[in-house]
């Protein structure tokens, strides 16, 4: 019995939690290239493997593009795999992300959210994963270290589901989650083995007994039908994701919700929408403003792809104002989360005012005061006051 | 079966018939390459010394070796002429498509 | 030793859409006769992928995969890791890539794969340009060859490609690779023996194989192997092998034919004058002198002509 058999509770960082979650899922091949702030996750996995606590092949690839190519090579032979990256590395493997999703391999990766150069900066925002939103991956953003561990395990279940067969990217805010320590509960290997069976690939695999050509060329006459399948799989995932969470909760005693989670929204008139670690801070602000008598609530977007369109369409009729926190901005337009939320709201009944708050770029803190200001601005706008639709949450020369 | 032959391929008629990913069964041929030729090889058995060279070097594998006798698979011969050029005894000659042997 | 006559009848590459006389398909077809059915094959975007795997016509009969252009080495690494993880026995992880996908965009992933020591067999078929996309120059395009991006336009100094080929064989040697070799389909026993050695190597192996291209080089489709022979006879393609940390030439012409015997038969060189022939011959002599100096002369039975 190894010295590091999973105890019940540990005080560990987000990256280490990811490593534990992945270890418990028994991947057979891991290939990764180091990039801050992902490094400690893959270092921990290398240590687990070297100590024979995880039986897995670890491939020290020479680039991120090769990391995704290598795990794809293993996945096509029917192995459960894992890789992780961030920022420049995620963009370097951009071609491979499309390749994997189009090939329908259920690869799971962790992305440590970090901005993208230039200018150089290693701290957290959502620029990197947002740039990859069209790559065909299921994309989810965790709020805390416990969710990080739990969603690694859920990720394999949903990726490998026969109706999904779509790769999953689990996003952790760089440094704020990857390097922050919390006391969390780690399931036992036995529990996870019982919940997540070994990977059983579909026909889409290299098999000496049934030879196939994979990732073939497809002419204009047929490519559309393959793309239709990918969209269908994402749509199917919308229903499967909450079921996976319910089943997880039944086994492990805690769940995290579906595509979104609403916090105190039942009678809310003004909500903020956010993803990632800022959700945790925002909950405190909601409670604080509720104590002041303001009817505010919070919508945590957990899954950005597939996008919770129906949930926002339904929300539109219930609220007077929606603010969206974006930790990136699509230059020339708005924050990407805002654009998508706004479009989804439009498809519902009701006409809430909407404001886009670009905040927390490149590791700048989003404070409780910032978040309270955001709520007040949404309320003011709903009340008829003029507020710019898209605002940077406090520039140094125009502090909020 | 030592090599694939052409089949009538069943294209998916419904989304349930699509493969679960962009893959296809290996060794499936739906059309021949015969139409590429403007010349074709004729092997003279009396000059052949069974050296195997034509069978080895055909880029298309279109020369079948069946117990030391060699026949051209005209469905897949492209008429490149390598066999005729490389045959050490000049047992292979190229004639025009449509020409009688 | 591979007995050519005992190679299996089975065609694991058949029905493809390559140009008539294509050396890349001679190479791939014969390699598969050596590695057999128990082969996992990856090939990047290249002539080979385009002519073998457009839905639903699949010309390979082994499990195969079209890898991204830059990533063949990395994909092979993942496949080899999976073979190890699944404890599979008696299986070949094979990659067949062109010169572009090996020496240019694919060089990094190849280097990584070889450096890590995976048990893979990597074959580069060298048709000396990006042929699939219409004959553009690669780092393995030889001096004086006209391509669409190194054209010979008829004015002074426009001689086609102005650089000499990168030496892939020595790049692989520098990795202390378990086994690597250069080969030529016009020299079948030498070529296929090297394939077998590579297949049986416990570690990475690399074969750099000369692949004359009738379409891209401009010669009649029945001359593919004749051109292959002339490349060796003029010393413009050397046959060598590296194993157990030592390199050696596996063949040497007693006397080189003049370079124009090789250059003259190909449209891509037709613009060259005696001046360029002299430059090419001088470079050839320099490189051979270096090889003989570093690796010694081959044994007597490997000196031909």
Question: In the predicted model, what is the mean pLDDT of residues A363-385?
Answer: 97
Q: Say if C57 is an interface residue toward chain A (CB within 8 Å).
A: no
Per-residue pLDDT tens digits for A35-65: 999 999 999 999 999 999 999 999 999 999 9
Q: Which residues of B touch C54 (CB under 8 A)?
A: none
Output the average pLDDT for chain A: 96
| pLDDT one-digit tens code per residue, A207-249 | 999 999 999 999 999 999 999 999 999 999 999 999 999 999 9
* Confidence class for position B1, pLDDT limits 50, 70, 90: low
CB-CB under 8 Å, B21 with A103? yes
Tokens of C218: 């401009």
Question: Dihedral angle at the C-alpha atoms of A357, A363, A364, A367, nearest 10 degrees?
Answer: 80
Beta strands in A228-285 (DSSP E): 260-263, 270-274
pLDDT of A4 above 60: no
List CB contacts (< 8 A) between B23 and chain A. Answer: 203-204, 212-216
What is the number of residues in chain B? Answer: 101
> Within chain A, which residue ranges are assigned CATH 3.40.50.920?
260-392
DSSP for A132-143 reads TTTSS-EEEE-S
With contact defined as 3+ CB pairs under 8 Å, the chains touching C are A, B
Mean pLDDT for the stretch of residues A378-396: 96
What fold does the segment set A9-252 form as a domain? Rossmann fold (3.40.50)
Size of interface B-C (CB pairs under 8 A): 106
In this structure, the number of other CB atoms found within 10 A of the CB of residue B9 comes to 14
All structural domains of chain B, each given as residue ranges with its CATH number in brackets, are 34-96 (3.30.70.20)
Query: From the list B20, B26, B27, which residue is nearest A203 (CB)?
Result: B20
> Domain A260-392: which CATH class?
alpha beta
- CB of A143 closer than 8 Å to CB of A190: no
pLDDT exceeds cutoff 80 at A89: yes
Query: To which residue do tokens 């028994």 refer?
Result: A26
Total domains in the fold of chain C: 1
**Do residue B26 and residue C222 have CB atoms under 8 angstroms apart?**
no
Residue A214, classed as helix, strand or coil, is strand
Q: CA-to-CA distance for B53 and A271, rounded, in angstroms?
A: 78
In chain B, helix, strand, coil percent, each to 5? Answer: 15, 25, 60
Query: What DSSP assignment string belongs to C54-82?
Result: ETTEE-B-S-EEEE-TT-HHHHHHHHHHH
**Mutation choice for B interface testing from C3, C7, C8, C11 by most B CBs within 10 A:** C11
Low-confidence winner among A356-360, C11-15, C205-209, C299-303 (lowest mean pLDDT)? C299-303
The DSSP bridge pattern shows strands A353-358 and A390-392 to be: parallel
C1 is a domain residue? no
Of the residues A72, A105, A216, the best mutation for testing chain B's interface (the one with the most B CB atoms within 10 Å of its CB) is: A216
What are the chain B neighbours of A105 within 8 Å (beta carbons)?
21
Judging contacts by C-beta atoms under 8 Å, the chain C residues touching residue B17 are none
Distance from CA of B1 to the nearest CA of A (A): 14
Separation between Cα atoms, residue C124 and residue C47, nearest integer Å = 12
pLDDT at A1 over 50: no
Nearest to B82 among C4, C188, C224 (CB): C224
Sign of the torsion formed by the C-alpha atoms of C73, C79, C84 and C87: negative
DSSP string, A125-179: -SHHHHHTTTSS-EEEE-SSHHHHHHHHHHHHHHHHSTTT---EEEEEETTTTTT
* Residue A351 burial (CB count, 10 A): 11
CATH of the domain at C75: 3.40.50.970
Q: Is the pLDDT of residue A102 over 80?
A: yes
Best CA proximity match to C118, nearest among C199, C206, C202 = C202
Smallest Cα distance from A25 to chain C, Å: 15
E strands, chain C, in order: 39-44, 53-54, 57-58, 64-67, 92-98, 121-126, 179-183, 205-210, 239-243, 246-253, 303-304
Share of chain C above pLDDT 90, in %: 97
Element (H, E) at B39: strand B39-43
Q: pLDDT for B45-61, tens place per residue?
A: 999 999 999 999 999 99
Q: Which of residues 89-128 of C touch A (CB under 8 A)?
A: 91, 108-109, 111-112, 115-116
**Chain B positions in Cβ-Cβ contact with residue C64 (cut-off 8 Å):** 26
A66/C contact by beta carbon, under 8 A: yes
* Contact between A203 and B12 using a beta-carbon 8 Å cutoff: no
Give per-residue pLDDT as tens, A153-188: 999 999 999 999 999 999 999 999 999 999 999 999
In whole angstroms, give the CA distance from residue A184 to residue A153. Answer: 15
Q: With an 8 Å Cβ cutoff, are C82 and A57 in contact?
A: yes
- pLDDT for the residue numbered A18: 98
Assigned domain for C2 exists: no
The residue among A102, A44, A38 whose CA lies nearest residue A67 is A38
Between chains, do B20 and A165 touch, taking CB under 8 Å as contact?
Answer: yes
Residue C95 DSSP SS3: strand
The answer to whether the CB of C35 falls within 8 A of the CB of C92 is: yes
Residue-number span of the structural domain to which C123 is assigned: 7-304
Domain annotation covers residue C254:
yes
DSSP conformation letters of C138-193: -TTPPTT---SSS---SSTT--S--SPPP-HHHHHHHTT-SEEEEE-TTSHHHHHH
β-bridge pairing C179-183 and C205-210: parallel
Q: Chain B closest CA to A186's CA: distance in Å?
A: 34
Q: Give the residue among B85, B77, B83, B89 at the shortest CA–CA distance from B35.
A: B77
pLDDT value for A22 = 98
Q: Is B54 in contact with B73 (CB distance < 8 Å)?
A: no
Nearest CA in chain B to A218: B22
Report the pLDDT value the prediction gives residue A7, as an integer from 0 to 100. 55
* pLDDT for the residue C299: 81
The residue among B22, B26, B27, B30 with the most chain A CBs within 10 A of its CB, best to mutate, is B22
Q: Tell me if C223 sits within 8 A of C22, measured CB to CB.
A: no
Mutation site for B-interface testing, chosen from C47, C56, C230 by largest number of B Cβ within 10 Å:
C56
Give the residue among A199, A167, A149 at the shortest CA–CA distance from A22: A149
Residue B10 in contact with partner chain A when CB distance is under 8 A: no
């Amino acid at each position: 019995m190894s010295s590091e058999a999973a105890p019940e509770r540990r005080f560990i960082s987000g990256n280490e939690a990811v490593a534990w979650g992945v270890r418990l899922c028994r991947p057979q091949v891991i290939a990764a290239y180091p990039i801050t702030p992902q490094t400690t996750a893959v270092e921990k996995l290398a240590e687990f493997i070297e100590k024979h606590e995880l039986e897995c092949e670890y491939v020290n690839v020479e680039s991120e593009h090769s990391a995704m190519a290598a795990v794809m090579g293993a996945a096509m032979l029917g192995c459960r795999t894992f890789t992780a990256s961030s920022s420049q590395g995620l963009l370097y493997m951009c071609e491979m992300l499309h390749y994997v999703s189009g090939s329908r391999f259920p690869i799971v990766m962790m992305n440590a959210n970090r901005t993208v150069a230039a200018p150089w900066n290693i701290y957290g925002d959502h620029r990197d994963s947002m740039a990859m939103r069209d790559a065909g991956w299921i994309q989810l953003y965790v709020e805390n270290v416990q969710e990080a561990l739990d969603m690694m395990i859920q990720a394999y279940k949903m990726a490998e589901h026969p109706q999904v067969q779509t790769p999953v990217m689990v996003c952790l805010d760089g440094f704020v989650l990857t390097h922050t320590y919390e006391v969390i509960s780690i399931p036992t290997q036995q529990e996870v083995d019982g919940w997540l069976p070994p990977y059983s690939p579909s026909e889409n695999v290299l098999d000496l007994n049934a030879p196939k050509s994979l990732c073939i060329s497809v002419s204009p006459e047929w490519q559309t039908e393959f793309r239709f399948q990918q969209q269908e799989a994402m749509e199917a995932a919308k229903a499967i994701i909450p079921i996976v969470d319910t089943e997880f909760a039944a086994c492990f005693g805690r769940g995290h919700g579906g595509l979104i989670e609403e916090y105190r929204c039942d009678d809310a008139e003004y909500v903020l929408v956010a993803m990632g670690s800022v959700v945790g801070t925002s909950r405190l602000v909601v409670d604080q403003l509720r104590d002041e008598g303001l009817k505010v609530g919070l919508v945590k977007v957990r899954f950005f792809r597939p996008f919770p369109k129906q949930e926002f369409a339904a929300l539109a009729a219930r609220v007077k104002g929606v603010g969206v926190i974006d930790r990136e901005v699509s230059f020339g337009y708005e924050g990407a989360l805002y654009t998508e939320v706004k479009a989804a709201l439009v498809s519902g009944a009701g006409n809430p005012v909407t404001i886009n708050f670009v905040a927390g770029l490149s590791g700048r803190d989003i404070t409780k005061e910032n978040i309270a200001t955001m709520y007040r601005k949404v309320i003011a706008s709903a009340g008829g006051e003029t507020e710019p639709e898209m605002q940077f949450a406090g520039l140094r020369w125009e502090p909020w | 079966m030592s090599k694939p032959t052409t089949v009538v391929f069943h294209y998916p008629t419904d989304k349930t018939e699509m493969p679960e990913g962009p893959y296809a069964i290996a060794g499936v041929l739906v059309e021949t390459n015969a139409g590429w030729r403007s010349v074709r090889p004729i092997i003279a058995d009396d000059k052949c010394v069974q050296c195997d060279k034509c069978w080895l070097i055909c880029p298309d594998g279109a020369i079948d070796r069946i117990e030391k006798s060699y026949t051209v698979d005209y469905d897949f011969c492209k008429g490149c002429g390598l066999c005729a050029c490389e045959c050490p005894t000049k047992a292979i000659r190229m004639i025009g498509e449509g020409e009688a042997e | 030793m591979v007995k050519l006559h005992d190679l299996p009848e089975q065609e694991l590459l058949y029905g493809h859409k390559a140009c008539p006389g294509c050396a890349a398909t001679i190479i791939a077809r014969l390699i598969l006769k050596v590695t057999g059915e128990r082969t996992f094959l990856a090939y990047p975007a290249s002539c080979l992928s385009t002519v073998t795997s457009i839905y639903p016509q699949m010309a390979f009969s082994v499990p195969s995969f079209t890898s991204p252009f830059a990533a063949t080495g990395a994909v092979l690494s993942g496949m080899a890791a999976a073979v190890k993880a699944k404890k599979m026995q008696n299986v070949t992880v094979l990659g067949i890539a062109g010169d572009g996908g090996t020496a240019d965009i694919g060089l990094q992933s190849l280097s990584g794969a070889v450096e890590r020591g995976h048990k893979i067999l990597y074959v580069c078929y060298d048709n000396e340009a990006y042929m699939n996309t219409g004959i553009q120059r690669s780092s393995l395009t030889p001096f004086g060859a006209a391509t669409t991006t190194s054209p010979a336009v008829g004015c002074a100094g426009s001689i086609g490609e102005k650089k000499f080929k990168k030496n892939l064989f020595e790049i692989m040697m520098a990795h202390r690779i378990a086994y690597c070799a250069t080969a030529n389909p016009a020299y079948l026993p030498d070529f296929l023996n090297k394939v077998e050695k590579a297949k049986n190597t416990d570690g990475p192996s690399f074969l750099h194989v000369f692949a004359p291209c009738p379409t891209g080089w401009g010669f009649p489709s029945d001359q593919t192997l004749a051109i292959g022979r002339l490349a060796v006879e003029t010393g413009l393609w050397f046959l060598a092998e590296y194993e157990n940390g030592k390199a050696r030439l596996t063949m040497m012409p007693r006397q080189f034919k003049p370079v124009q015997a090789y250059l003259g038969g190909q449209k891509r060189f037709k613009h060259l004058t005696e001046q360029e022939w002299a430059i090419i011959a001088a470079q050839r002599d320099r490189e051979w002198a270096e090889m003989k100096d570093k690796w010694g002369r081959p044994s007597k039975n490997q000196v031909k002509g």
